[in-house]
Chain A
Amino acid sequence: MRRAERGGISRRKLETVERTFRKRLDGLVKSVEWVPEYDVGLEELRIELWDGILADESRFDVAWWTRHGYKYHYVEGGESGATDDGSDRLQFRFGWEKRPGVPDKHFHPPDDLDAHRESCVRHEDPKRVTLAVLKCWHTAATAGDPAKLNALADPP
């Protein structure tokens, strides 16, 4: 089986993501940046938050593509005082891609970023996927406990 092409980036879907973050998290959104730029070769939407699960700051790097697929990569800590490779920061990622050998909708848990676990999020529209990701993050952040993410379809 070949890996399926996902097309170019979808600005429309990313705008839905931005709107949903701002509306649901209100003042917690510290900044929003289109990387590297909105009109030329856009790769991701970077949303910085004023709070985190363990750290005081965090960010989501989000991408949605036109044909299928998304990524929500979460990493904690501000730009300053961070290690170069980010290895000691809390990170996780929700992803959807069609490639051989991994579940289409998967979750890379904080304790094993390279693993593709079956994700509890199965929707394919940016609104509901964003709500689901926010629910997982908000629950973990309120408890200060990454285990509360509960993002695996069949938690071990």
Chain B
Amino acid sequence: MPTDDDVDAPPSVEDVEPFDADELSGDVPDDLDDAVTAEWTESTTAFERIHAVLKDTTEPRTTGDLADAAATTKPTVRKHVRPLVDAGMVEEDASATATRYVWSSTQRRVDRVADLAADHSPSELDAKLRRTKRRLASLEQTYGVDSPSELVAQLDPDDDAGWEDLSVWRTLEVDLKRLRAAQSMTEYLARSEPGESPRDASRHA
């Protein structure tokens, strides 16, 4: 029903054309996985894909694994992974038969803590920490155990709610560490603010 307000009407699905590859025009293809890979390779460079795949790694992966996951070849992976290893962003494990690579977890963790510290005031961080501890305490109370590792040992495979809670618990454990680290970082930054402390004042005198 067209009205004078059509200019302000919310967008509809007819207004968007999300895909570039021919493989993804028309109906959902039977080989959807291949079509999606075609779309991905068409809209990105091999380096972008290798970078994206590496960034999601939490365990070391072989060159062959990475090439498959990034829809490229092993020589291309080797070429692009080298500068990332040299820059310390990717860790190389050459101890096994095949060399394996994983995104540096140290770098990742430091980046997240720095973001948290930069984006939040000490009181905001404090409130987040309190909410984290409250939710952890509630999980401990619900299940009568002190850690997610103890919980996993007693969970039934079909206890969907329990498995949901287990994931939340794992998430909260990491959140607690990050928030504590961010709190330390803001305290450190506040202390070293120029002109804020007597030591700084004396240095500038």
* Chain A complexes with chain B: yes
A residues with a Cβ closer than 8 A to B are 2-3, 5-10, 12-13, 16, 24-28, 30, 37, 39-43, 50-51, 56, 65-67, 99-100, 120-128, 131-132, 134-136, 138-139, 141-142, 148-151
CB of B204, distance to nearest CB on chain A (Å): 36
Let me know if B11 and A39 touch, CB within 8 A. Answer: no
Choice from A10, A100, A122, A127 contacting B157 with Cβ under 8 Å? A100
Per-position contact with A for B20-63: 1 when CB-CB < 8 Å, else 0? 00001011101011011101100000000000110110100000
Evaluate contact between A138 and B18: CB separation under 8 angstroms.
yes
Contact present for A24 and B19 (CB under 8 Å): yes
A51→B28 contact, CB < 8 A: no
Count of A-B residue pairs with CB < 8 Å: 143
Tell me how far the C-beta of A3 lies from the nearest C-beta in chain B, rounded to whole angstroms: 4
Size category, B interface: 35 or more
Q: Is B174 an interface residue (CB 8 A)?
A: yes
Give B residues with C-beta under 8 Å from A: 10-16, 18-19, 24, 26-28, 30, 32-33, 35-37, 39-40, 52-53, 55-56, 58, 69, 108, 116, 128, 131-132, 135, 152, 155, 157-158, 163-164, 166-168, 170-175, 178-179
Whether A125 contacts B10 by the Cβ 8 Å rule is no
B175 & A66 in contact (Cβ 8 Å cutoff): no
* Chain B interface, >50% SS class: helix
Flag if A122 contacts B33 (CB, 8 Å): yes
Which of B19, B30, B33, B69 has the most chain A CB atoms closer than 10 A to its own CB?
A: B33
Q: Which residues of A contact B108 (CB under 8 A)?
A: 12
Please give, as numbers and ranges, the residues of chain B lying within 8 Å of A132 by CB-CB distance: 32-33, 36
Sample (13) of A-B pairs whose CB atoms are under 8 Å apart = A8-B170, A9-B167, A10-B56, A24-B18, A25-B18, A26-B16, A27-B15, A28-B12, A40-B172, A41-B168, A41-B175, A132-B36, A150-B32
| Max chain A Cβ within 10 angstroms of own Cβ: one of B19, B32, B33 | B32
Contacts A8-B174, A67-B58; is A28 near B16 (CB within 8 Å)?
A: yes
A148 to B157, CA, bound (A): 33
